[in-house]
Amino acid sequence: MSEQSNLPATHGAHDNHGGEVDYATRDERGRYILPLEEHTPRITDIDPRAAKRAERQVAWLFTLGGACLAGGVAAYVAFDSRELISVPTIGRVSASNFWLGTLIGLGSFFIGAAAIHWARRLMPGEEAVDHRHPLRGDEQSRASAIEQFKRGAAESGFLSRPLVRRTMLGAMALFPLPLVVLLGDLGPSPKEKLRHTMWGDKRMTRIVNQGSGELVRPEDMAVGGLINAIPEGLERIQEETGTQNERAKSSIILVRMNPSEIKAQQGEGWDYEGILAYSKICTHVGCPISLYQQRTHALLCPCHQSTFDLSDAGRVVFGPAARHMPQLRLGVDAEGYLVALGDFAEPVGPSFWERG
Ligand code: FES
């Protein structure tokens, strides 16, 4: 309920800074009151049938919202996550993800619309003034605060002990320094560090099966098979450096497919009789990957579902990764062991450093 009608209008008053305030009134304590338009009742305020109708509309919106949320969960359970559907402007996406996202979005919309409709049509709609206290304290409080501040400064010895004051200011000036050093971790670009791995240290590096610890020979791999592998000598590097950094960069997967199924590679003839080597580290944000679908040659990252076609130079066919999986060039040495003939075609791991 507005208080304005009980108060004298004082158009043309001056505010604390001398400016004229000609759009407001003040009450007897000098507080501003903005003029309020006369309240116009809504149809739902005066017509019980309209209010009942609005009530039903709100109930319908809440019901629709709940149904959409339940439908989203049902769709998520009902659809196989590998089943893809074509969506205009988006392309091929997982049916269960699509319906889960769409129905949760619709459910949130209906619930939000119900809440707004309820508030606008059925909750009290009269305008009212909410008074605030003036921000500026009275003169006595201000003088007391200044007095206390001065007494605190004198008692702390800030002014009378220059040695303490200067050393404190010096220490405070150095306080942001560690932050600056920590900020240094945001750069420089890690691209060069990610470009070089153990595979590039020698002209030929033998490949070790990560599971068995055995050197890999081409005949160990059947068509359709996958092996997680590391470079020979990785343990020694780990002991020398005391870190797992090289393992994180050098881990690979080997897959074998029929050579006629290979559409493209990152270098001419980089496979060995259908055996291909790719980095095991996803180019999105670096999860290790070894989910491989033999029939489609798709490598699927479990973290955010980026999918790479290993028969087509590791190209991204789905998901948020912005760059294909880096490939290694393979061959065999004089003793018939599978070897890498150099480093990856490009830096391994996440590609955030490419932005900008
Ligand atoms: S880390 Fe692989 S898709 Fe995100």
Ligand 1 centroid, distance to 344 Cα (angstroms): 19
pLDDT at residue 188 in the model: 66
pLDDT over 60 at 1, yes or no: no
Ligand 1 atom closest to residue 306's alpha carbon, by position in its atom list: 3
> Between 179 and 219, whose confidence is greater?
219
Shortest-distance atom of ligand 1 to CA 301: 2
> Residue 188: is the preceding peptide bond cis (ω within 30°)?
yes
Q: Of 232, 351, 346, 193, which is closest to residue 283 (Cα–Cα)?
A: 351
What is the percentage of the chain residues whose pLDDT exceeds 70? 87
- Sign, CA torsion 225/322/355/276: positive
Whole-number Å distance between alpha carbons of 207 and 199: 9
Phi, psi of 327 (to 5 degrees): -110, 150
304 CA to middle of ligand 1, Å?
5
pLDDT tens digits, residue range 174-196?
988 888 877 766 666 777 778 88
Position 32 pLDDT exceeds 50? yes
Average the pLDDT over 136-162 and give the result.
90
Atom of ligand 1 lying closest to residue 282 CA: 2
Atom of ligand 1 nearest to the CA of 302: 2
Residue 14: the pLDDT is: 45
pLDDT number for residue 3? 38
- 70-90: pLDDT as tens digits: 999 998 889 887 788 888 887
Instruction: Report pLDDT digits (tens) over 85-138.
Output: 888 887 778 888 889 999 999 999 999 999 999 999 998 887 777 777 778 888
Which residues are CB-neighbours of 118 under 8 A, at least 6 positions away? Answer: 58
- Checking 49-55 for CB contacts under 8 A at 24+ apart, the result is 51/121, 51/122, 54/117, 54/121, 54/122, 55/122
pLDDT digits (tens, 9 = 90+) for 317-337: 999 998 999 999 999 999 999
Output the pLDDT for position 177: 84
DSSP state of 319: S
Computed over every residue of the chain, the mean pLDDT equals: 86
Distance from the alpha carbon of residue 183 to the mean position of ligand 1, in angstroms = 25
Length of the chain: 356
State the Cα–Cα distance between residues 215 and 333, nearest whole angstrom.
12
Residue 355 confidence class, pLDDT cut points 50, 70, 90: low
Q: Which of 97, 285, 323, 352 to mutate to test the pocket of ligand 1 (most atoms within 8 A of CB)?
A: 285
| Average pLDDT of the segment spanning 215-236 | 94
How far apart are the C-alpha atoms of 345 and 342, rounded to whole Å?
A: 9
Interacting residues of 241 by C-beta distance below 8 A, sequence separation 6+: none
pLDDT at 22 over 70: no
- Give the CATH architecture of domain 191-354: 3-layer Sandwich (2.102)
pLDDT at 83 (0 to 100): 82
Mapped onto helix, strand or coil, the DSSP state of residue 342 is coil
| Better-predicted residue by pLDDT, 103 or 39 | 103
Query: pTM of the full predicted structure?
Result: 0.51
- Is the pLDDT at 339 greater than 80? The verdict is yes
Tens digits of residue pLDDT in 269-327: 999 999 999 999 999 999 999 899 999 999 999 999 999 999 999 999 999 998 999 99
Beta strands per DSSP E along the chain: 13-14, 20-21, 25-26, 32-33, 84-87, 91-94, 205-209, 226-231, 252-256, 275-279, 291-293, 298-300, 307-309, 315-318, 327-328, 330-332, 338-340
> Which of 227, 111, 288, 11 has the alpha carbon at shortest distance from 300?
288
Tell me how far apart the alpha carbons of residues 257 and 297 are, in angstroms, rounded to a whole number.
8
Between CA 129 and CA 126 the distance in angstroms is: 10
CA–CA distance from 200 to each of 162, 260, 289 (Å)? 61, 28, 22
Task: Quote the tokens at residue 40.
Answer: 């116009």
Residue linked to tokens 């309820």: 118
Measured distance CA(254)–CA(230) in Å, rounded: 10
- pLDDT for res 187: 63
